[in-house]
Structure 1
């Protein structure tokens, strides 16, 4: 039997708004897509459970430098909660722990249970989660049957709404800040209602700043791969699309050169904090830190920040900037 040809990777920069399919872990999805694109360097922006589908931004090349910023962004989900059954993972992939009678509930009772779960709240993570204790993920400890005290942390739930009811199944819309577990929200909702609950399905709708994303499925990407790498590369957003939420600072060529060599430069006055830095020709150079209102320090610059910028990067930015959302 002939061996599968070894992938020859290439330098590639950009962001793909991937529609993760059911059943794959985020890393499994990343590796499949990475091999399709033959990208030398790739990373994702926060895990989705195998049960979950939807938006998983994938960063290639220099875009991996801003993956952490996307990880900390606000997100939106649609989930189906099943009342009456709790599981060890707080979702349908887990082992049922307890089954209870679902009481007669009207919309007012459900709204009363949802209300305390909105806004800044204290949330206990699921024991089957990627959070680490002692350098090891909680799920690894849970699989060994170890007793686990899952940590609590402060999170923000911007919106939590009932969309539809069908017997014991509740369809909910969630908008939340970084670090929020939808499984924990559903678990806590079930306990407030007195019957328990678990997540039956979960779909991520958007991740800021991609609030109206054009997502690509694995099937779509595999079909495009048959048309050549140009068809695949056209799916990528330029790196600067991931920096749309940051104030923009433009530098002339001399200031851009000095910043690229690690020096601070003067910039337009504004609030202190992270800013997206561009050359006066419109090329994104990376992130800077504005201090004292008008001083700019290099924070996280892309490899071309001390150069004029690779032709292929400039062309891709011009071709795809209108697709950022």
Structure 2
């Protein structure tokens, strides 16, 4: 039962592995004893990092908040492609990884800067005739997906130890980092898949104000309310 005093604001959660975005919404609803809660931008179960929950009147800002750029830290592995484009999928093809120079790896990343198109993976929440693609993928079905316009504003590479590469990418909404890893592997001719992913920023919100998912599970209503970013502050942030 919802209390008379309804919370409103944004709660930034540091999502942990092996839980879904919906899991965090359910946990927060339980802890706050309040139902009007949504999330801004799904994170795959293996991914960690910034997940914004919109609570109460802040749900009206959901679309606005989801439109903003994101920053991710990721790792990829050359030489193996998977059906999900990440380490959680089944390996579809294995190839030998040439002794790429750092410059060759950099050139591949450089190819995917600015505006370009991505074909969304089959294992995604995008719907085809009202059915999420991941449900079709579970049945072994592959359907045509329309390319989507995306943008990479910036990237950096922090480690190259073949067949692994660690990177950071600053990208637009609707961007699939696992497709990014897959496409870089295709560009180099040896294939690749995403092995780790952490969202460090979503729009103006980063991990500095986040509550860990494990702490959220045992937090009191009062403790969660203290972590809420209020509507006035959100309006001020969005006006910048």
TM-score range, shorter-chain basis? over 0.9
2:88 maps to: 93
Alpha-carbon deviations, 1:90-148, whole Å to 9, x = none?
00110110011010011100111111101001111111111112122111111112231
Moved over 6 A (4+): none
1:34 maps to: 29
2:50 maps to: 55
1:102 maps to: 97
Structure 2 Cα separation of the partners of residues 152 and 245 of structure 1: 32
Q: CA deviation at 1:212?
A: 5.9
Q: RMSD of aligned C-alpha atoms?
A: 1.5
1:140 maps to: 135
Contact residue 17 and residue 213 of structure 1 kept, 8 A: no
1:116 maps to: 111
Structure 1 pair 21–211 and aligned structure 2 pair: CA distance change class (3 A): closer
Summarize the alignment of residues 197-212 of structure 1 with structure 2, pairs less than 5 Å apart: 197-211=192-206
2:229 maps to: 237
Higher mean displacement: 75-84 or 165-174: 165-174
In structure 2, list runs of 5 or more residues that go unmatched: none
Q: CA deviation at 1:70?
A: 1.0
Structure 1 pair 93–244 and aligned structure 2 pair: CA distance change class (3 A): farther
Alpha-carbon deviations, 1:58-116, whole Å to 9, x = none?
01111111011111110000001011110000001101100110100111001111111
Q: Quick check: 1:155 aligned with 2:150?
A: yes
In structure 1, list runs of 5 or more residues that go unmatched: 1-7, 249-325
Q: 1:65 aligns with which of 60, 69, 79?
A: 60
Contact residue 120 and residue 154 of structure 1 kept, 8 A: yes
Q: Quick check: 1:173 aligned with 2:168?
A: yes
Structure 1 Cα separation of the partners of residues 69 and 233 of structure 2: 16
Q: Which has the larger radius of gyration?
A: 1
Alpha-carbon deviations, 1:16-39, whole Å to 9, x = none?
000111011111121112211222
Alpha-carbon deviations, 1:214-246, whole Å to 9, x = none?
111122223432xxx322210111023333454
